[in-house]
Amino acid sequence: MVRKMASAAAAVAPAPQPHIPTILNASGPPPGHSVTVGNLQTFILPDKVSDTEANRKLGKALVEAWQKDGILQISMTPEQHSLYKSANYASRRFFGKPYAQKAACVDSQTYSGYIASGEELTDGIADYSEIFTVTKDLELDEPRVVAKWPCHGRCPWPDYEMQNPMQRYMQSLGGVGETLLQLTELGLGVPEGSLTNYTQDGWHHLRILRFPAINKTNGKGKEGRGIGSHTDYGLLVIAAADDVGGKYFRSVQ
């Protein structure tokens, strides 16, 4: 999230037309919440970024979208969509495992691995989601791991079938992030590297979330709530969601 740009977030997702449900269901707002369906501006990113008039124009449009809406969409390429589908399948496969197998995937130095539904709190209320977090995944002999840097070290992957698609997807998203930051530099008219110098070998991390069905609240939190209202951390947040939807954000306006 680019803090100086009105709490910006970029959503990596296809650009479906907004859908207003006629009845309350999993695609509608939580009980007691009033929302307006918005049309997010959607952008197609170039394969490479150079200082051209077209890229400067695109960069300015990105900045203006963030300043106006606080969030935007970018279109996936076919390759990115394939990686997303593989990661989504791996996510569903993992969360379908027995609790004991999931709960074994934890690490005290990297703070990565599994978090059960209800273990995380937002504003003192338990969140419904169960999560698998991936932090800086490094070999045990890497100097930062040896020095006991928090959130640096081996991720407690359950198996290769989870590790491979998630790492490939995360690498792809890292490239998307670099492209967005390069375009943002052009849009802001700042020197090259003003943002990207801070992300070289950056502390990228990934959070894989699953939300139980809306009718299975398990007695946790407020009825109908998935995760409580919060502000994300980091320089840039890139998110993708499945076809159920449910991404709500407060407009900067």
**What pLDDT, in 10s, does the model give residues 142-198?**
999 999 999 999 999 999 999 999 999 999 999 999 999 999 999 999 999 999 999
Categorize the per-residue pLDDT at 85 as very low, low, confident or very high, splitting at 50, 70 and 90.
very high
Burial 36-64 (b: 16+ CB within 10 A, else e): eeeebbebebeeebeeeeebeebbbebbe
Neighbouring residues of 35: CB distance < 8 A, sequence distance ≥ 6: 29, 248
* Closest listed residue to residue 153, CA positions, set 164, 163, 143, 166: 143
**Is the distance from CB of 179 to CB of 75 less than 8 angstroms?**
no
For helices 160-188 and 53-69, angle between their N-to-C axes, nearest 10 degrees: 100
Fold of 3-239: Jelly Rolls (2.60.120)
Highest mean pLDDT out of 2-6, 56-60, 198-202, 208-212: 56-60
pLDDT tens sequence across 227-250: 777 777 788 999 887 777 667 777
Query: What is the DSSP-derived secondary structure letter of residue 198?
Result: G
